[in-house]
Amino acid sequence: MSKSFLEAHVPDLVKKLKVEEKVALLSAPNWWNTTPVVRLGIPSIRMSDGPNGVRGSSHFVPTPAQCMPCATALASTFDPGLVKRVGDFLAQEAKLKSSVILLAPTCNIQRSPLGGRAFESFSEDPHLSGTLAAAYVDGLQSQGVAATIKHFVANDQEDERTAADSIMSARALREIYLYPFMLAQKHAQPAAFMTSYGRLNGTHCSENRELLTDILRKEWNFGGIVMSDWFGTYGVDLAVNAGLDLEMPGPPRWRTLSLVLHCLSSKKLTMATIDERVTSLLTFIQRQARKNIDIVFGDGIERSRDTPESRRFCRQIAAEGVVLLKNRGNILPLTCKNIAVIGPNVKERVISGGGSAALKPTYAVTPWEGIADGAPAGTTIHYHIGCYGHKYLPTLESNLRTPRGDAGWLCTFFAHDEHGEISYPVQQFILNDTRVKLNDFLPQGLTPTWSIKLEGKLTLDKTCRFEFGLTVAGRAKLWVDGSLLIDNWSKQIPGDFFYGQGTIEEKASVNVKAGKPVDIFVLYTNTPPPDGDDENGEGRLSQPALMRGVRLGGCEKIDEEDAIAEAVSLALQADAVILVGGLSPEWESEGFDRPSLRLPGRQDELFTRVANANPNTIVCIQAGSAVSMPWVKEVSGLLQAWYSGNEAGNAIADVLFGKVNPSARLPLTFPSRIEDVPAYLNHKSESGRIHYREDLFVGYKHYQARNITPLFPFGFGLSYTRFSYSNLVISVKPYSDVDLLHLNLTVTVSEEAHGQRASPAR
């Protein structure tokens, strides 16, 4: 592309564009890029997800990236300066991926902890959400990367997310749900807004002129572009007229030349409106190209970084977000020498939520690795899993080798003949993930129907009964050592494997010997799944072609009653126990909401029995929002560690052993029970509508108004430092057309805390 575009006059460019070129600019050619116009030197610019890392432009063969803590973890710091530094850091990550647009931050309201994407949003409080969103945007855009604040507006749950109509009062809309977006626009001016999937008071947000034009552009003076969420458009003329500049992803479903021309000929659209949308897009593209010349006109190669400096930064941010919720008897920081570490998350890489937040990390520190490395010299540490907490069986890439001995497994694409049978190979890849996502990449040369073969050798270090699980969006079968083990092809049961789509995980088990390789073979096809009934006997639609993929998991099949008993026995022998559990990206994800507040599996039982066996028990919860804690009175210590990114394990250890003095606070209220949540009974869609009947009483406002004692209140967080407040004086001082409240108080900090010098908390 010609760099002359940088100096071009946008209105002149619009005049030179052909109608078909204008239409092409209103959508994308693929999942992650804008449309170029070679004739006029208009370049394509790349975007990437967000919000806790920069994934890059492929789910299939992703470029590793640094994974930052989730939004609730960042919000726990209550520190806009620190969040701005995160934005700075992510801007550099975006540029390494040849991206100049990050699809972040998310600043929807945490209306209910059951929301599938709750972890992506900062808080239940609109002021805190907006302040931190502005800081995040400021950090990104100070480095020339455009922020795309999302999801505008009321994307607070995943239930029927493309259809449900959010019904709320005008005051609740303004004071709660629009407020964080307004603050971010006022203080940081995001370069782009992304619309939410659903409807607002009867109209899809991507087609809502009052939202996109009257409020956003006219009232708030927004001057950037508005794009849809992926497949979040539902027609042609309404969205264009409302102010939606860009349909994502491509190839377009709606903004095709034939459909747009038909709308123009029927006067549902005018060329003036098309030109308005095109002008917005070209102005945006030119602005980003000027700020990032080397990237926009560069080689397009995606890169990773993993430096000591980036590791230190990620570790600091992660530790800053850990909230100390309980510290009975000053059990923390830990100083004992015989520790048992128990729980389903101890050796798992639980670093982010699922969906748009998921990425391939450059590395990940598990809690076990962090605790083992961070414990004082002379400490003895023992481990037991206790019970499982997974939704899908754990992925197997760390134990797989290709037929030639390379790490991973071999993926071969095959074209089909005219009869739909496998014909010839097209391209091969070595994959290092047994979650194979095919929605944003396919090699050239495939026929309309096609297949992939996945081959590898699995070697375990333990003789055991091993259970495999196969999940699919499409059709797939699994053979182990040449024998068909799982058929997720001929008959399927719907599940939420892929953004709320796909099948349930079909399971089967075999005996495996330690050190003896097992041949693994998976055949997948993109042909639609079989028609038929779901498990309730109700008819279902075939999977849409936009979501394709297959997932292979597996682990030892254990007797959990025996496992819990063994964990209790280990706890009895230890000076202290660290229990690490919580949720995972398969429980908290885009596409579906959580079924309950409960911890999955038998974690509650494990925690209770271990705490009863050893009073010196500390629980560490990895989750993006609140969970129920029926065992909370039994444990002595409690950390809310959220999803803390690459450095999760080190951050947890830094707090446990006192290398970091915890100073984070809850950005949302933790309820004692689901019935206490403000949105209880109004969280899911009712006949296509989600009623926001709690109105203004969201979060702590609800608990205060109804005099409900929560499990832990908004803003709660302990510290290893002992301090007290006194001499509070409040005075009112006039300032311009408003009065300012001035607060003065004395904070007294003890010199010693738990036998060691401690720095004061914020």
Judged on CB neighbours under 10 Å (0-12, 13-18, 19+), 741 is exposed
For residue 487, indicate whether it is catalytic: no
Give the number of residues written for the chain.
762
Output Rg (C-alpha) for the chain, integer angstroms: 27
Rounded Cα distance between 295 and 406, Å, is: 33
Hey, which residues does 503 pair with through a beta bridge? 494
CB 280 within 8 A of CB 225: yes
Sign, CA dihedral 22-23-26-28, equals negative
Cβ-based neighbours of 295, under 8 Å, separated by 6 or more:
95, 98, 99, 100
Rounded Cα distance between 634 and 616, Å, is: 10
The enclosing H or E element of 192 equals strand 192-195
Rounded Cα distance between 368 and 333, Å, is: 17
Cβ-based neighbours of 277, under 8 Å, separated by 6 or more:
26, 240, 244, 245
- Helices 308-320 and 648-656, axial angle in degrees (round to 10): 60
Which one of the listed residues 229, 237, 654, 676 is annotated catalytic? 229
The CA–CA distances, whole Å, from 281 to 81, 238, 372 equal 31, 18, 51
Rounded Cα distance between 319 and 645, Å, is: 10
Token code pair at residue 631: 């065992």
The enclosing H or E element of 738 equals strand 738-749
Token code pair at residue 419: 């009869």
Token code pair at residue 68: 């930052």
DSSP 416-430: E-TTS-EEEEEEEEE
Hey, which residues does 605 pair with through a beta bridge? none
Q: Phi-psi category of 386—alpha, beta or left, where left has phi over 0 and alpha has psi -120 to 50?
A: left
Rounded Cα distance between 96 and 307, Å, is: 14
* Catalytic (active-site) positions: 229
